[in-house]
């Protein structure tokens, strides 16, 4: 089995960066979507688009079920990252933040706190993607992919 990048594609702002790293390092790529937003199928021979049935968390469920220690899950969805980490996969946010066993618990707690503050009318969403975020993602994905390739 080859190494793969499993991409939570509906909200992925770094598709080109994903394809660049995957092509250079020999990873397969699966862009997973429920089809709610039109996504152009990737033109790279090592990448494919997987459309799951419409419904809440269908893409997340597919990614979590497929994840193995040879994969990297790319998502901003913290609960999905936690599920993939539990399966032994590596996980990275679209802004280049590595999700790990040592930081996922506090990330889940912070997510819950932010949800609560939003319900109370306080707090906002995430800042938009900046050029520095793309650069950080590219470096972090390259580093993570190299580490996954070297792992037994």
Average pLDDT over residues 135-148: 97
Nearest CA to 16 among 149, 134, 136? 134
User: Nearest CA to 40 among 65, 19, 62?
Assistant: 19
pLDDT-derived band of residue 11, with 50, 70 and 90 as boundaries?
Answer: confident
Q: Would you state the structure tokens that stand for residue 129, as one six-digit string?
A: 């993607």
Look at 95 and 118; give whichever has higher pLDDT.
95
pTM for this prediction: 0.86
pLDDT digits (tens, 9 = 90+) for 16-57: 999 999 999 999 999 999 887 888 888 999 999 999 998 778
DSSP element (H, E) containing 40: none
Is the pLDDT confidence value at 124 over 70? no
At 60 the pLDDT is: 94
pLDDT score recorded for residue 118: 65
Report which of 63, 66, 22 is spatially closest to residue 44, judged by C-alpha positions. Answer: 22
pLDDT at 105 over 80: no
Nearest alpha carbon to residue 98 among 84, 87, 109? 84
User: What Cα–Cα distance (Å) separates residue 80 from each residue in 40, 89, 92?
Assistant: 23, 11, 11
Q: What is the CATH number of the domain that holds 26?
A: 3.40.50
**CA-to-CA distance for 115 and 51, rounded, in angstroms?**
28
Domain residue limits at 43: 4-150
The total domain count for the chain is 1
Asked if the model's pLDDT at residue 1 lies above 70, the reply is: no
pLDDT at position 103: 77
Sequence-separated (6 or more) residues with CB below 8 Å from residue 93? 74, 75, 76, 81, 99, 137
């Amino acid at each position: 089995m080859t190494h793969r990048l499993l991409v939570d594609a509906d909200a992925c702002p770094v598709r080109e960066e994903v394809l660049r790293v995957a092509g250079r390092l020999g990873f397969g790529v699966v862009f997973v979507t429920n089809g709610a937003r039109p996504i152009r199928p990737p033109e790279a021979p090592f990448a494919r688009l997987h459309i799951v049935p419409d419904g809440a968390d269908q893409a997340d469920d597919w990614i979590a079920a497929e994840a193995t220690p040879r994969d990297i899950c790319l998502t901003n969805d913290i609960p999905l990252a936690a599920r993939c980490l539990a399966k032994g996969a590596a996980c990275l946010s679209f802004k280049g933040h590595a999700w790990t066993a040592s930081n996922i618990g506090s990330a889940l707690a912070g997510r819950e706190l932010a949800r609560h503050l939003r319900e109370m009318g306080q707090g906002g969403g995430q800042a938009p993607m900046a050029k520095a975020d793309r650069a950080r993602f590219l470096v972090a994905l390259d580093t993570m992919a190299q580490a996954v390739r070297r792992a037994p």
